Amino acid sequence: MARQGAMAMELNPISSAGEQTVGADIEALVGRLYPICRSITGDGVRKTLSILSEHIAIRRIEIPTGMEVFDWTIPEEWNIRDAYIADLLGRRIVDFGANSLHVVSYSVPVHQIMSMSELRPHLHILPDQPDLIPYRTSYYNRNWGFCLSRNQLEAMGDGPFEVRIDATLEPGSLTIGEIFIPGEIAEEILISTHICHPSMANDNCSGLAIAAFIAARAERAGLRHSLRVLFVPGTIGSLAWLALNDAETWRIAHGLVITGLGDRGDFTYKRSRLGNARIDRAAVHVLSGCGGDPKIIDFSPWGYDERQYCSPGLNLPVGRLTRSPHGEFPEYHSSADDLTFVSAEALEEALVAIEDIIAVIDQDRTYRSTNQKGEPRLGKYGLYRTVAGQSGKVPEMAMLWVLNLSDGRNSLLDIAQRSGQPFSEIRMAADALHGAGLLEDVSKRAG
């Protein structure tokens, strides 16, 4: 689908053969974020935000342990320095330094000599995927554990083993990253992505990198709407931000949760709880022109942070954009979600799709034709081809659709959906007709 234009400025322009593209830039950022051990709290989140801040300034919000956020409580802060299972000669069999997925997130500290029978209840594998390390967490129950491949487990023997997790779990804070770019109006477009997953490229280094690029490019291009980008630990982070900003959530007029955007699957869009919000219609319209076989699914109270933004007391118009849905691809939540699982092309395509959705939202207007009885003579206004059979600068069919449906009730997005014309062409036609005095803007002014 053609770019809509509102966010065409790029950090590094998409360039000719031999030069780096924006997709490669995003992929490089994913590569820097990938090794970091992140969790719902801790220095891994802060290190991640520091790297993202090289692209655009990010405000950090620190929420202290013990603070009540709706029905939840901010937990103690978890940080880990090292962890391993070793034989008694000191040779590491399982090493956190090799892959941060090896330790169950939020494991309490431990240092013991253990037999396999003692250790086995604390070991997690993927029985049907013998080469892969699973991702496991124990956020709200004090426990500890290691994740390893089935092949590693089968080669370990009976022990004894030295088992060590050098970690702290103590009062601290939960960290949220926030970018706010004011626009011409107070209504906001929200982009939200989770920052709590360690060492998985698609879920969700892809979302983190793309969100930072979206914000940096939007800041340079300028938007009519205000733009807010959140980097939040899953569930507890979005709840904390919503609790702190409960009185201001009315400003969120459109929103997207983004995750899992670097793999080679087709796009999947999950509708908001409202089901037919403008963000839902804009996403469907844009994705229909992206190629492949995009999938549109209805809202359900399961998934990522969209279920918090769409909770009944808020009911915000927030959908979710991914590629392969979570839990439906074999690499999900495992060591197979590595840097080879994502591609520059997929990352760039996702960036363009999100920017096009934002552009549709930002540029949508409602007009009323100043010629309600019959269509105007376009040639009189320099808008009609001078020789039959030639193509004009402005798509003629798009102009006719805009003139016919601009009755003060249909927005440009409505017209694009009904006509099947790309939004970019409908907007181009509306701009030309408005400039010629053939349309009056009757959009509801916000802010």
Decide if 96 is inside a domain: yes
Q: Do 285 and 338 belong to one domain? A: yes
Domain count, the chain: 3
Distance CA 214, CA 209 (A): 9
CATH code of the domain covering residue 377: 1.10.10.10
Domain that holds residue 304: 22-74+173-363
**Domain CATH code at residue 294:** 3.40.630.10
CA distance 238 to 69: 10
Strands 226-232 and 188-194: parallel
Q: Among 140, 170, 200, where does a domain finish? A: 170
Same domain? For 230 and 125 the reply is no
Same domain, 210 and 355: yes
Q: Does some domain include residue 129?
A: yes
**359 and 370 share one domain:** no
Whether residues 246 and 358 share a domain: the answer is yes
* C-alpha–C-alpha distance, residues 194 and 238, integer Å: 9
Same-domain pairing of 371 and 412: yes
| C-alpha torsion sign, points 405, 411, 417, 423 | positive
The helix or strand, by DSSP H or E, that contains position 51, with its residue range, turns out to be: helix 43-52
Global pTM value: 0.93
- Tokens encoding 84: 């391993």
153, part of any domain? yes
Cα–Cα distance measured from residue 52 to residue 50, given in angstroms and rounded to the nearest whole number: 6
Please check whether residues 284 and 263 belong to one and the same domain: yes
Query: Do 102 and 238 share a domain, yes or no?
Result: no
Nearest to 269 by CA among 203, 337, 259: 259
User: Final residue of a domain: which of 113, 143, 170?
Assistant: 170
Instruction: Show pLDDT as tens, one digit a residue, over the chain (447 residues).
Output: 334 443 443 333 333 334 468 999 999 999 999 999 999 999 999 999 999 999 999 999 999 999 999 999 999 999 999 999 999 999 999 999 999 999 999 999 999 999 999 999 999 999 999 999 999 999 999 999 999 999 999 999 999 999 999 999 999 999 999 999 999 999 999 999 999 999 999 999 999 999 999 999 999 999 999 999 999 999 999 999 999 999 999 999 999 999 999 999 999 999 999 999 999 999 999 999 988 999 999 999 999 999 999 999 999 999 999 999 998 999 999 999 999 999 999 999 999 999 999 999 999 999 999 998 988 988 888 887 543 443 557 888 999 999 999 999 999 999 999 999 999 999 999 999 999 999 999 987 433
The answer to whether residue 3 is domain-embedded is no
Give the domain-ending residue among 363, 391, 411. Answer: 363
